[in-house]
Amino acid sequence: MEFIDDWRDRAEMGKAFVFDRVLVADRSAAMHSYNFARFQRTAASAFALPGSTSWWTPIRNNVIQFAGLDPGVGSGTTGTPVITYISRQEWGRRMLIPAHHDKLVQELYKLRDMYGYEVNVVRAEKLSRIEQIRLAARTTVTSLPSLGL
C-alpha cells in the first residue's frame, strides 16, 4: 500500500520509479471478494486478477534491487530458512499475552538451535525503512501472531 509519506520518501530519493502494473484498490469493494473472505486481506483480491500469476514479481524485484540485494534472495528454494517474527509487544494494542509472546520466542529459538534456521525477532518500528525491506526480502517464513498471520 502506498501513502503520502511513501511518495514523499520516493521524491526525496531523486530516482525514477517505473511500475509495470499499479493497482488502485477500493477497500469496501475488495471486502466482497472471495479472496478477502478467505484471507481477510484487501490485497488478496489483486492476486486473483487475470493475467500473469506473478504480476507482483517485477515490483518486488525492483524494490529489493534498490535496497542493494539480489532479487533471488528470499525465494525459499535454497539456503537456510529465514524466520522473522514481527513483535508488536510494545505497541500497547493488538499484542500477545506476555507469556504467550515469551513462549513463541522460546519456540522460535528452539528451531534456530535444533535446525540451524535463521530466526529474527524484531520490532519493525525500530528498523529503518531500508532495513525493513532487506529483512522482508530475505525472510522465507513470517509470523505476525497478533494479526492472525
Say what the pLDDT of residue 146 is: 44
pLDDT value at position 12?
85
Rounded to an integer, what distance in angstroms lies between the CA atom of residue 123 and that of residue 83? 14
Buried-state track 78-95, b at ≥16 Cβ within 10 A, e below 16: eeeebbbbbbbeeeeeee
Residue 61 near residue 73, CB atoms below 8 Å: no
Residue-wise pLDDT tens for the chain (149 aa)?
A: 677 888 888 888 887 877 766 666 677 777 777 777 777 777 667 667 666 556 677 878 888 898 888 888 876 556 788 999 999 898 888 889 999 999 999 999 999 999 999 999 999 889 988 898 899 888 887 654 444 43
Domains of the chain, residue spans: 4-55, 82-147
Helix axes 129-138, 57-66, angle to 10 degrees: 130
SS3 for 110-145 is: HHHHHHCCEEEEECHHHCCHHHHHHHHHHCCEEECH
**CA-to-CA distance for 137 and 65, rounded, in angstroms?**
10
Integer Rg of the chain from CA: 17
Local structure of 51: helix, strand or coil: coil
Contact 89, 96 (CB under 8 A): yes
pTM equals: 0.59
Predicted local confidence at residue 149, as pLDDT: 39
